[in-house]
Amino acid sequence: MKKVLMPTAILFISLVALTLACRSDVGESYYIFNRAPLEQVPYAELPLESVKPRGWLREQLVRAAEGLTGRLDEAYPQVVGPRNAWLGGDGDAWERGPYWLDGLLPLAYLLEDQALIAKANMWVEAVIGSRSDDGYFGPLRLEQEPEPESGLQKANGEDWWPHMVMLKVLQQHYSATGDGRVLDLMTGYFRYQLKHLPARPLNH
């Protein structure tokens, strides 16, 4: 009886083949990595849009785009609507907006969905535009605790962790667009961290 490869097996084999094709001795001319003093690694991460989803995988991504991943701002505007502090508003200031974008932005570029790209870019532009002279970016630094509001995390917007999630989002934006402003923002923010971590350690 003839054996038929299941879609998952085909996907796995394809990913292995892609990984092997991107070994450092093959891909060095296309992607810059393994640059000293970074640790030497055998594989290179591919740019965001270099692998295009098809078939079953694309169908799942389209469903995500049509569902909450693509429309969370419509279903949950209290948290990820225009009041969100990452957009410059007075609302939610912690990690929920960045976590949503961590799914929305790559989904938008993988599907080449211009409406979703525009939605993600609205956040990216707000975040990049929030950068201050000392390197900080993101929710406004508050002099006093905000009035509590049910369902919102308005305090502790300067916490290190949600910024790490947003930096991951910006990395993906850079991978898809080559936007050099991301490198400037990251360099400034890491200098800001270096200066302030002694007084505000990671468990702050």
Would you write out the chain's pLDDT as a tens digit for each of its 204 residues? Answer: 544 444 555 555 555 444 444 443 444 445 677 888 988 888 888 888 888 999 999 999 999 999 999 999 999 999 999 999 999 999 999 999 999 999 999 999 999 999 999 999 999 999 999 999 999 999 988 877 888 899 999 988 899 999 999 999 999 999 999 999 999 999 999 999 999 999 988 875
Q: For the chain, how are helix, strand and coil distributed in percent, rounded to 5?
A: 55, 0, 45
Q: What is the pTM of this model?
A: 0.81
Same domain flag for 30 and 62:
no
* Domain around 148: 53-196
160 within a domain of the structure (yes/no): yes
Report how far apart the first and last C-alpha atoms of the chain are (Å, whole number). 63
Rounded to the nearest angstrom, the gap between the alpha carbon of residue 4 and the centroid of all alpha carbons in its chain is: 37
Same domain flag for 79 and 156:
yes
The domain tally of the chain equals 2
Q: Which residues contact 117 (CB under 8 A, 6 or more apart)?
A: 108, 109
117 within a domain of the structure (yes/no): yes
CB atoms closer than 10 angstroms to residue 163:
21
